[in-house]
Structure 1
C-alpha cells in the first residue's frame, strides 16, 4: 500500500458504513444520522473492531493515519463550535431576559446539581478521575456535562419537528444559547491554571480589545471577504486560547460568539453547518470512538452512563417544570422544552473530549459520558413527538 492508502481506506469506512447502516435501519424515523455516526465511531474503534480483527485494524489505523484523522477532526469540531458561537443571540435573549434567564438558569442549574451528585458518587472510585484532575474539577466537569445542550443539533431537531421558526422554537433556541455561554464559561474556570494565570489574563485582555476591533471590521464586510477573514479570526483566537491553556475549543466558541449571525445570513449559516456535518464531522465521530475504553470498566461503564443519564434527564425536566410554573406556561410545554433541551450529542462529546485532553476525567469516564450523550439524544425526538401529538389531539 502507498503512504496514503490507510488514510483513504479509513475515510472510506468513516463516510460510507454509518450512512449505509442509517439507511438500512430506516433513517430519521428511527434515529438521527448524527447518533448513528457516533455509535459507528465507537464500534469501529478499539472497543469492538480493534479487538475482533486487530491485524486489519492496525493496518488501517496506523499511527500516521491516526495523526491525520485527529488533525482533521480538530479542524472539523473547531468549525462546528465556531458556528455554534455565531448562533448565540445575546441581544435577543437580553430583550426577553425574564423568560430567558429564568428558564435557562433553572434548566442549567438543576442538571448541574444532580450531575455533581453523580460525580461525587463516581469520585469514590479513583478510576473515574483523570491523572491531572482535582476533585472539584472532576465534579464540576461531570455536573456541567449533564447540563449541556447541543445547540446546533437542537436546530436540526426543531427543523424536523417543524417548530424552528415558531415563537416556541425561537424561545427554546434562546434558552440553549444562554446555556451554551454558561457551559463554556464554566469550562474556562475548570481549566484555569494558577501557573498560567498571567498568560490567561493576557488572553482575556487581548481578546476583549481585538473583539471590539473585529466587530467593527466585520460589520462592513460582505460575501467571500467575510467568510475568509472569519476563518482567520477563528484560528487566531483558537491558537491564543490554546497558548493560554484554555483549550482551542474555548477559543473557537469565543471567536464565534462575538460575531453577529445576521452578517452571514441564517440560511447560509445553516448551509455551512450542514456541510461541516456532512464533510468533516464524521471524522470527529470516529476519533471519539477511538478514545472510548471498555477494558477498564466493563458493565460499570454502562452503569455510570445510566446514572449520568438519570441526572441529566431528571435535571432538565425538573428545571423546566419549575420555570414553567414560575412563568405560567401552558400545560405540557415545560415537558416539551425539557426534552428538547436534553439534546446533548456533539457539544457534550466535544466538552468531554476537552476534559479528557486536559486529564480531568479518565478514558473510562469519557466512555460513560459518550454513551450518556448518545442515549439522551436518542430519547429526545421520540419524546418530543409524543408530546406534540398529544397536544395536537
Structure 2
C-alpha cells in the first residue's frame, strides 16, 4: 500500500513535470513557427530533448529527476486522454461530401500513396528483421513486423498537412485540395489497416484473430445502426431546446466508453475515439463547434503535449550506432520515394505537370503526430524495439520538416492554379471538414 505522503509527492512531481512539458512545448512550438515549420515539429523536438537524447545526458540525469519511473504512469494517463480527444476531433472533422468529389483522382492518389510506401516498408522490414526481431526477449513474427512497418510508412498526417497548406496559401488550389482530400480519405483507410494489423498482433492464434474480427465488425455495425441515430437525436433535441451546456462533457464520456469498448475487443482505444468522432452529427454546426469541439480541443491542447514527452522518453538518439544511422537512411529513402512515386505518378496520370505531381508527392510525405501515434502503439505492443522506434520517430520528424521548405520552389505563388479565387494570407482558410482549421491547430 502506497503511503499517503509518498502518493502526494508523486502527484506533486507529476504536476511539476506537466508544467515543464507545457513550457518547453510552447517555446519550441513558437520557434518552429518562426522558421516556417508546423508547431508539431517543435513539440516533438521538445519531447526528444527532454528525454535521454539530451537532458538525460547531463550530470545527475535531470530527465529521471523530472520524470521518475513512478510518475510516468500518471503522465501516460494524461497523454492517453489528450490522444483520445485528438482522435475524436480527427474523426469528426472528416468531410465525406468533400471526399466524394474528384473521385477518380482522389482514389488514384490515395491508393498509390498508401500501397507504394507500404510495399517498400515491407521490403525494408525484410532487410531489418534480423536485427530487430526480438523485443523484450520475445521474438516478433515477421508477419506482424512487416505489416506494422508497411502501415507506418504509408501514413500522411491530415491535420498537419492542412496547416502546412494554409500557411503556404495552398489550401484553395486544385493541388492542395487534391492532396488534402486524398490525405483525409487515406487517414480513414490507414486507421482501418492499422486496426487490422493490431488485431493480428494481439490475437492469440487464428481463432483469436477471428474473434477480434467478428467483434470489431459487430462494434462497427452498432456504431452505425444504434449509436449514430441516438447521438443525432440527442444533439437535435439539445439544439431545439437551445441548451447543450453539458454537451462536451457527455460527448467526452461517450468517446471514452467507445475507446474502452475497442480496448476490450482487442484493438487500441484510439480507434474507439476516432469512430465516435466519425458517427457524431455535423449539424447544427455552429452549436457543435461552440459547445462541443472547442472545449474538447482546448482540453486536448493542454494534455496532448504530454504525449510528446512520454514519446520522447522512449527516443534515445544518442545511443544510435553507425549501423542504426544507416538503417535510418534506408527508412527515409523508402518513406520519401514511396510517397513521391505512389502519389506523384497517379497525379501525373490525371493531367498534372511533373512539378505539380512532385508537389503532390511532397505534400503526401507529411507524417507528423499521426505517425507518432502509430509508432507509439507499435512500441506498446512490443512490435518495435527502442532503436527502431527512435529511427522511425526521426523519419517522421524529418519527412514532416522537409515539406515546408520545398513548397515555395514547387508552387510559386504567382503561378498558383486557384480553385475559387485568390487566397488571402491574412484570411482564415478552412480545410475540408466542419472543424478544418481548429482541428489542424490542435494537431500542429
- In structure 2, the partner of 1:153 is 160
Task: Find 2:13's aligned residue among 6, 18, 22.
Answer: 6
Task: For residues 235-264 of structure 1, give each alpha carbon's deviation from its aligned partner in whole angstroms, at most 9, with x where no partner exists.
Answer: 122111111111112222222223344555
Task: Find 1:378's aligned residue among 394, 401, 407.
Answer: 401
- In structure 1, the partner of 2:351 is 328
Task: Find 1:162's aligned residue among 164, 169, 188.
Answer: 169
C-alpha displacement at 1:369, in angstroms?
0.7
Change (3 A) 1:262 1:315: farther
Matches within 5 A, 1:278-317: 278-294=301-317, 297-317=320-340
- In structure 1, the partner of 2:117 is 111
TM-score by length of 2: 0.80
CA distance in 1, matches of 2:294, 2:410: 29
More divergent stretch after superposition (96-105 vs 55-64): 55-64
Change (3 A) 1:226 1:337: farther
CA distance in 1, matches of 2:32, 2:156: 26
Q: Does structure 1 residue 252 correspond to structure 2 residue 295? A: no
- In structure 2, the partner of 1:44 is 50
Say which SS state the counterpart of residue 191 (structure 1) adopts: helix
CA distance in 2, matches of 1:321, 1:51: 42
- Equivalent pair of 1:85/1:257 in contact (CA under 8 Å): yes
Change (3 A) 1:276 1:376: farther
- In structure 1, the partner of 2:71 is 65
More divergent stretch after superposition (160-169 vs 40-49): 160-169
CA distance in 2, matches of 1:359, 1:261: 37
- Equivalent pair of 1:146/1:309 in contact (CA under 8 Å): no
TM-score by length of 1: 0.90
- Equivalent pair of 2:248/2:295 in contact (CA under 8 Å): no
Say which SS state the counterpart of residue 368 (structure 2) adopts: coil
Task: For residues 119-176 of structure 1, give each alpha carbon's deviation from its aligned partner in whole angstroms, at most 9, with x where no partner exists.
Answer: 1111132357673631011111111111101111112112212232455433322201
CA distance in 1, matches of 2:368, 2:323: 22
Say which SS state the counterpart of residue 328 (structure 1) adopts: coil
Q: Does structure 1 residue 181 correspond to structure 2 residue 188? A: yes
C-alpha displacement at 1:374, in angstroms?
0.3
More divergent stretch after superposition (306-315 vs 49-58): 49-58
Q: Which runs of 5+ in 1 are unaligned?
A: none
Change (3 A) 1:112 1:234: same
- In structure 2, the partner of 1:81 is 87
Say which SS state the counterpart of residue 64 (structure 2) adopts: helix
Change (3 A) 1:296 1:330: closer
CA RMSD of aligned residues (A): 2.7
More divergent stretch after superposition (81-90 vs 112-121): 81-90
Bigger radius of gyration among the two: 2
CA distance in 1, matches of 2:293, 2:327: 35
CA distance in 1, matches of 2:294, 2:83: 16
Q: Which runs of 5+ in 2 are unaligned?
A: 417-444
C-alpha displacement at 1:54, in angstroms?
3.7
Task: For residues 201-253 of structure 1, give each alpha carbon's deviation from its aligned partner in whole angstroms, at most 9, with x where no partner exists.
Answer: 23421331233222223334144455333322211221111111111122222
Matches within 5 A, 1:342-361: 342-361=365-384
Task: For residues 170-197 of structure 1, give each alpha carbon's deviation from its aligned partner in whole angstroms, at most 9, with x where no partner exists.
Answer: 3322201121122112112212214364
- In structure 2, the partner of 1:217 is 230
